[in-house]
């Protein structure tokens, strides 16, 4: 696999696209007005303790109070001791150092933890721990043992903090690991010093801007061939960062001065637009329908126009195989998280089910977000979860439709007509002294009332004994109407 990272910068926002073999796989967006908060460290103040939820609300200076669960609070309990309750761990008015693990999502505030972690090029420091872990993506057992032994020695010398060795550390020498550990040790000392003098509700440590963060997190994979940036100022910042921390990436950085927009060059804009649609077309003629709701995301697989295989079972199998690969890409591209239910087309053969599930697992292997995939259920559904730390692409770029309120459907003009008839009856009975009634509604509803429903309207006028007039309103939605007494 060959990856390219494209960085598009404007004064209002920075966008980063990850392209693998010419196909867009991931998009990151950070706006100057609303930067991501994950990994930021705050000095917070407990505003409310909720024993019934084993959680607390914390004021950290954001628009909404953040959420801290008891399981996310570090404590010095020993094995065998009863698990402390939220009331044992914190109290109202207490000042506390917390880190954001999930951005505010929808109506929910940020999710917090006191288990602080600080990432660098090769390591992630765990200040409140002394253990050493190695990334699961480093597959060589010999390399895992080597890295664990080196970091165990460094940890014993420092005697204070634990570390997780990142995938980028594969093959690096002891000197580089020591330099990274020393950098993190100094950074943590600075954070502690700031936290003592900071006021509650203030930021103590802020993670890197998006462009630098992506270079740090993705640049060390060894598969990134090029990083193209369309802003000279951002290019210089990345170049300086690479010179200090990632010298092997300097040759891969490239400033793009072309007149044609960088994202247009790689067809990224069109792919982003497609990622906001419900329907995803498959090359075979089949398609996916993706619906994102508050509780979960559902994905329905359909054969569509694909009729190409020898028999029905083979046609379904091939469609499901292609869908599994497309679903893995769409989850990354749209950044869909939480509970995901996939309704593959029903397969009869167990071997076909196993192969489709394996294709989905292979597709998810390159996804950095943790996921868990269950077996095909008795109803033919695949249940899975994908870790969600930031808003989905749809939530970042879109808002609920003001007409339907996010339902995705409107009452038909016929339904609204009959609602108006019932409202006229109600008003005529309640206000018998009215001389006439005026109905304000959308043009579509008025046209239906005076045309197809004209006979019903005449009967209604005769029944209430009052003339009924209609006035179309251009600003009214199809569901909106008013009945005015005159």
How do residues 236-253 score in pLDDT, each as one tens digit?
Answer: 999 998 888 888 889 999
Per residue in 382-436, pLDDT (tens digit) is: 999 998 878 889 988 988 888 887 778 889 999 999 999 999 998 888 887 888 8
Sign of CA dihedral 387, 393, 396, 399: negative
Q: 91 pLDDT exceeds 60?
A: yes
**107: pLDDT confidence band, cut at 50, 70 and 90?**
confident
pLDDT of residue 291: 93
Exposed, middle or buried by CB within 10 Å (0-12, 13-18, 19+), for 69?
Answer: middle
Mean pLDDT of the 157-175 span? 84
Cα(61)–Cα(64) distance, integer angstroms: 8
Q: 173 pLDDT exceeds 70?
A: yes
Q: 79 pLDDT exceeds 70?
A: no
Q: Give the 3-state DSSP-derived string for the chain, with helices as H, strands as E and coil as C.
A: CCEEEEEEECCCEEEEEEEECCEEEEEEEEECCECCCCCCEEEEEEEEEECCCCEEEEECCCCCCEEEEHHHCCCCCCCCCCCCCHHHHCCCCCEEEEEEEECCECCECCEEECCCCEECCCEEEECCCCCEEECCCCCCHHHHHHHHHHHHHHHHHHCCCEEEECHHHCCCCHHHHHHHHHHHHHHHHHHHHHHHHCCCCEEEECCCCHHHHHHHHHHHHCCEEEEEECCHHHHHHHHHHHHHHCHHHHHHEEECCCCCCHHHHCCHHHHHHHCCCCEEECCCCCEEEEEECCCEEEEEEECCCCCCCCCHHHHHHHHHHHHHHHHHHHHHHHCCCEEEEEECCCCCCHHHHHHHHHHHHHHHCCCCCCEEEEEECCCCEEEEEECCCCCCHHHHHCCCCCCCCCCCCCCCHHHHHHHHHHHHHHHHHHCCCCCCEEEEECHHHHHHHHCCCHHHHHHHHHHHCCCEEEEECCCCCCCCEEEEEC
pLDDT of residue 118: 92
The CATH number assigned to the domain with range 116-207 reads 3.30.230.10
Residue-averaged pLDDT of the chain: 89
**120: pLDDT confidence band, cut at 50, 70 and 90?**
confident
Asked if CATH classification 3.90.1640.10 holds for the domain at 413-485, the reply, yes or no, is: no
pLDDT of residue 253: 94
**76: pLDDT confidence band, cut at 50, 70 and 90?**
low
pLDDT of residue 315: 85
Cα(288)–Cα(281) distance, integer angstroms: 7
pLDDT of residue 1: 55
Q: 64 pLDDT exceeds 80?
A: yes
pLDDT of residue 442: 93
User: For a pLDDT cut of 70, what percent of the chain falls above it?
Assistant: 97
Exposed, middle or buried by CB within 10 Å (0-12, 13-18, 19+), for 209?
Answer: middle
Per residue in 133-158, pLDDT (tens digit) is: 998 888 889 999 999 999 888 888 77
Encode 344-379: b = buried (16+ Cβ within 10 Å), e = exposed.
bbebeeeebbebbbebbeebbebbebebebeebeee
pLDDT of residue 42: 94
pLDDT of residue 309: 55
pLDDT of residue 224: 86
Per residue in 362-371, pLDDT (tens digit) is: 999 888 888 9
Structure tokens at 214: 């992506």
According to CATH, the topology of domain 3-35+209-269 is Nucleotidyltransferase; domain 5 (3.30.420)
Instruction: Give ∠ CA 438-439-445 in degrees, rounded to 5.
Output: 155
Query: What pTM was estimated for this model as a whole?
Result: 0.79
């Amino acid at each position: 696999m060959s990856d390219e990272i494209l960085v598009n910068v404007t004064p209002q926002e920075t966008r980063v696209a990850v392209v693998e073999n010419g196909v867009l796989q991931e998009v990151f967006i950070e706006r100057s007005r609303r930067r991501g908060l994950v990994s930021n460290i705050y000095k917070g103040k407990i505003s409310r303790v909720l024993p019934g939820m084993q959680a607390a609300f914390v004021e950290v200076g954001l628009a909404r109070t953040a959420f801290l669960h008891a399981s996310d609070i570090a404590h010095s309990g020993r094995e065998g001791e009863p698990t402390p309750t939220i009331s044992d761990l914190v109290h109202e008015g207490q000042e506390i150092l917390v880190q954001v693990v999930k951005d505010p999502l929808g109506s929910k505030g940020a999710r917090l933890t006191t288990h602080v972690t600080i990432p660098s090029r090769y390591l992630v420091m765990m200040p409140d721990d002394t253990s050493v872990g190695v990334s699961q993506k480093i597959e060589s057992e010999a390399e895992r043992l080597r890295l664990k032994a080196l970091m165990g020695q460094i940890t014993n010398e420092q005697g204070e903090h634990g570390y997780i060795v990142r995938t980028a550390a594969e093959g690096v020498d002891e000197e580089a690991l020591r330099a990274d550990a020393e950098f993190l040790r100094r950074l943590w000392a600075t954070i502690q010093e700031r936290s003592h003098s900071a006021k509650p509700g203030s930021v103590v440590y802020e993670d890197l801007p998006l462009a630098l963060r992506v270079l740090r997190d993705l640049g060390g994979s060894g598969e990134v061939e090029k990083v193209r940036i369309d802003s000279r100022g951002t290019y210089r910042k990345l170049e300086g960062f690479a010179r200090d921390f990632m010298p092997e990436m300097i040759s891969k950085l490239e400033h793009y001065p072309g007149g044609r927009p960088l994202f247009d060059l790689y067809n990224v804009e069109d792919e982003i637009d497609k990622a906001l649609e419900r329907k995803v077309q498959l090359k075979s003629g089949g398609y996916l329908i993706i619906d994102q709701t508050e509780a979960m995301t559902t994905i329905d697989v359909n054969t569509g126009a694909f009729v190409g295989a020898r028999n029905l079972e083979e046609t379904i199998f091939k469609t499901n195989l292609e869908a599994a690969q497309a679903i893995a890409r769409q989850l990354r591209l749209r950044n869909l998280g939480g509970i995901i239910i996939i309704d593959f087309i029903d397969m009869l053969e167990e071997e076909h089910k196993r192969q489709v599930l394996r294709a989905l697992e292979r597709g998810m292997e390159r996804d950095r977000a943790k996921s868990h995939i269950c077996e095909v259920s008795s109803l033919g559904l695949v249940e899975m979860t994908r870790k969600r730390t930031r808003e989905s692409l749809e939530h970042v770029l879109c808002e609920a439709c003001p007409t339907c309120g996010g339902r995705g459907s409107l009452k038909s003009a016929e339904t609204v007509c009959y609602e108006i008839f019932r409202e006229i009856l109600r008003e005529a009975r309640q206000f018998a002294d009215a001389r006439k009634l005026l109905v304000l509604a959308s043009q579509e509803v008025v046209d239906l009332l005076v045309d197809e429903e004209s006979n019903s309207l005449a009967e209604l006028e005769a029944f209430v004994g009052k003339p009924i007039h209609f006035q179309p309103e251009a600003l009214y939605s199809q569901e909106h109407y008013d009945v005015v007494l005159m």
